[in-house]
Amino acid sequence: MKIAVFGTRKYDQDSLKAANRDGFVQFTFIEALLDQRTAILAADHEGICIFVNDICNAAVIEQLSALGVRFIALRCAGFNNVDLEAAAKLDILVARVPAYSPEAVAEFTVGMMMTVVRKYHKAYNRVREGNFLLDGLLGFNLHGKTIGIIGTGKIGLLTGRILAKGFNSNVIAYDPYPSPLAEEYGLKYVSELDELLKKSDVISLHCPLMDSTKYIINDDSIAKMKKGVVLINTSRGGLIDTYALIRALKTGHVLAVGLDVYERESSYFFADSSAKVIADDTFARLLSFYNVFMTGHQAFLTEEALTNIADTTLKNLHDMKETGTCACIVKAS
Ligand code: NAD
Q: Where are the domains of the chain?
A: 2-100+302-323, 102-294
Q: Tell me: pLDDT of 267 over 90.
A: no
Would you mind telling me the total number of residues written for the chain in this entry? 333
Kindly give the number of the ligand 1 atom that is closest to the alpha carbon of 156.
26
- Which amino acid is located at 138 in the chain? L
Output the pLDDT for position 219: 98
The contacts found for 317-324 with CB under 8 angstroms, 24 or more apart, are 317/1, 317/3, 317/24, 317/25, 317/47, 317/49, 317/71, 317/73, 317/95, 318/24, 318/25, 320/47, 320/71, 320/73, 320/93, 320/95, 321/1, 321/46, 321/47, 321/71, 324/93
pLDDT category at 266 given cuts 50, 70, 90 is confident
* Domain 2-100+302-323 shares a fold with domain 102-294: yes
Output the pLDDT for position 91: 97
Output the pLDDT for position 271: 87
For 19-83, the DSSP string reads H-TT---EEEE--SPPSTTTGGGGTT-SEEEE-TT--B-HHHHHHHHHTT--EEEESSS--TTB-
CB 79 within 8 A of CB 332: no
Q: State the catalytic residue, choosing from 46, 75, 206, 265.
A: 265
Residue 133 sits at the vertex; the CA angle it makes with 131 and 139, to the nearest 5 degrees, is 125
Other Cβ atoms closer than 10 A to 213: 18
310-332 pLDDT per residue, tens? 999 999 999 999 999 999 999 98
Q: State the catalytic residue, choosing from 85, 297, 303, 322.
A: 297
197-225 pLDDT per residue, tens? 999 999 999 999 999 999 999 999 999 99
Q: Tell me: pLDDT of 130 over 90.
A: yes
| C-alpha torsion sign, points 187, 189, 190, 196 | positive
96 lines ligand 1 (CB under 6 A): no
158-212 pLDDT per residue, tens? 999 999 999 999 999 999 999 999 999 999 999 999 999 999 999 999 999 999 9
Q: How far apart, in whole angstroms, are the C-alpha atoms of residue 260 and residue 232?
A: 8
pLDDT average, residue stretch 81-97: 97
Kindly give the number of the ligand 1 atom that is closest to the alpha carbon of 216.
18
Rounded to the nearest angstrom, the distance between the alpha carbon of 274 and the centre of ligand 1 is: 30
pLDDT category at 119 given cuts 50, 70, 90 is very high
Would you say domain 102-294 falls under CATH 3.40.309.10?
no
For 152-220, the DSSP string reads -SHHHHHHHHIIIIIH--EEEEE-SS--TTHHHHTEEE-SSHHHHHHH-SEEEE-SPP-TTTTTSBSHH
Q: Tell me: pLDDT of 237 over 90.
A: yes
pTM for this model (two decimals): 0.92
235 lines ligand 1 (CB under 6 A): yes
Rounded to the nearest angstrom, the distance between the alpha carbon of 209 and the centre of ligand 1 is: 8
Q: State the catalytic residue, choosing from 236, 253, 285, 322.
A: 236
pLDDT average, residue stretch 136-144: 98
- Which amino acid is located at 201 in the chain? D
176 lines ligand 1 (CB under 6 A): yes
265 lines ligand 1 (CB under 6 A): no
150 lines ligand 1 (CB under 6 A): yes
Q: Tell me: pLDDT of 78 over 90.
A: no
Whether 195 sits among the annotated catalytic residues: the reply is no
258 lines ligand 1 (CB under 6 A): no
The contacts found for 28-36 with CB under 8 angstroms, 24 or more apart, are 28/2, 28/3, 28/4, 29/5, 30/4, 30/5, 30/6, 31/7, 32/6, 32/7, 33/6, 33/7, 33/266, 34/6, 34/7, 34/60, 35/60, 36/60, 36/63
Rounded to the nearest angstrom, the distance between the alpha carbon of 153 and the centre of ligand 1 is: 6
Kindly give the number of the ligand 1 atom that is closest to the alpha carbon of 151.
21
Output the pLDDT for position 196: 98
Would you say domain 2-100+302-323 falls under CATH 3.40.50.720?
yes
Whether 297 sits among the annotated catalytic residues: the reply is yes
207 lines ligand 1 (CB under 6 A): yes
Mean per-residue pLDDT of the chain: 97
